[in-house]
Amino acid sequence: MHRISYSQFGEDIVAWNALRNATPGFYVDVGAHHPIKLSNTARMHLEGWDGINVEPRADAIELFERHRPRATNLRLAIHNELDVVTLHKFRGGRIDTVIADRARMLANSKDAVGAEDVPAMSLDRLFEEHVPAGTRVNYLSVDIEGYDREAILAFDLDRHRPDVVCIELHDFDPLALGSNPVVRHFKDAGYHPFAINIMSFTFVREDAAGRLGIHRLNRA
């Protein structure tokens, strides 16, 4: 069956397969980038989902306000320790990063367009302050250009419990996923790998699988 994907690597098709019984639901898209292009949550929005879009660039948030007016659109970066961070910006915004070393490396081959200070908070604080009380988060997408690992390892999965999480990971060994700190973090909290799309990992909560209609999870 033909399916339209708005994501970079088909992550939204994987998400829809996992969450088909949860619709309409609630998403949190961290590093949302654009309301349509390369978006893991564009289809969810079109299907009537509510959610939160997090992006540090002002021009990106303006687009989200225009195209996703019923969502909560936050101009924020994610950082575990700082309330204000320096965002290193590149043409198009897709590879903007808060990591100075990564920015210097990218500047060797990409068009840097300056830097600016932006407000920041941790994923825990984002959930505590902006997810409405009593709301079940069905889908969390994290794509924050090099800070993904630090952000998710500090995120309290035992407390916040999104049903499905998609996170971008770099430099992983596909033959030794069990030793990867991020994979272990999810498995320790009762999540299991559901799919890998090039560099995007999707995890599903074991105790939500039945409700979502998922009958097989990777327990390796």
**Local structure of residue 97 (DSSP, 8 states):** B
In terms of CATH, what superfamily is 11-75+123-212?
A: Vaccinia Virus protein VP39 (3.40.50.150)
pTM over 0.85: yes
Cis peptide before 24 (omega within 30 of 0): yes
DSSP-based three-state secondary structure for 152? helix
Say which amino acid occupies 84: V
- 142's tokens: 């994290």
Closest of 135, 182, 184, 122 to residue 163, by C-alpha = 135
pLDDT of residue 216: 67
Q: Which residues of the chain have pLDDT under 70?
A: 1-2, 216, 218-220
What single-letter DSSP state applies at residue 132? P
**How far apart are the C-alpha atoms of 76 and 112, rounded to whole Å?**
20
- As a whole number of angstroms, the distance between CA 194 and CA 202 comes to 5
User: Exposed, middle or buried: residue 13 (CB in 10 Å: 0-12, 13-18, 19+)?
Assistant: middle
Confidence (pLDDT) at 165:
98
Q: Look at residue 61 in the predicted model and tell me its pLDDT.
A: 96
The residues spanned by each domain of the chain are 11-75+123-212
